[in-house]
Amino acid sequence: MITEILLPAAGAVSLLGNVWAARTVRGLRGRLAEARRRAVTDPLTGLANRAGLTRALAGMADESYDLVLVDLDKFKQVNDTYGHAAGDRLLVEVAARISAVVEDIDGAVVARLGGDEIVLACPSPAPLAQILGADVIAALAEPIEVADGVAVPVRASVGAVHVTAGEDSSRALAAADAAAYEVKARGGDGMVEHNVLAALPEVEQRPLARMREMAALVRVLGVTA
């Protein structure tokens, strides 16, 4: 004999309502977490984006860290010769190789600032930015396949700086960018480290563009002098 157990109508509605509410809340939390993740993540490479880097550097403000900026050389030529899909493929592999350099370092972050500029930062009580930059260059030594049967060499202009606790992260980025541009002005494929004993540069309204304009002017004057 089968005995039916019937819930009171009001109880059944209440139970269903609670289940629906719980599932809705979980769904909303999941979508919110995903939206927050996307807000600080570069969609192509999976690295942190500029906002993600800013957040990470803010978390390092009370400690010393090494900062390396990587500006790929002749990246536009890859896009122009093989297409943007090839350029994207190159960036994804470069991001993976650079990430591998610091994957075992707690608190390290790798970010794509946009275009072909990638920054990595990791806590470091001692000034080891030059070693970190050299590791990045070594990681990019092997050619990268950008299309079936097509591999291209990867060269980069690298700027490195050791940042002491309490320094402004925007000034640290400006110093690394200026160092990388110094390499670029010399023809690329190398590294310059910001003098650890020198003060970080002041940041103007358009710091990176302004510093690059000044570097270009110095280069022209040096050639014409």
- Among candidate residues 42, 66, 116, 177, the one labeled active-site is 116
Q: How many CB atoms lie within 10 A of CB 110?
A: 28
116 is catalytic: yes
Enumerate residues 6+ apart whose C-beta is below 8 A from 87: 75, 78, 79, 146
Enumerate residues 6+ apart whose C-beta is below 8 A from 211: 174, 177, 178, 181, 201
What is the set of active-site residues? 116
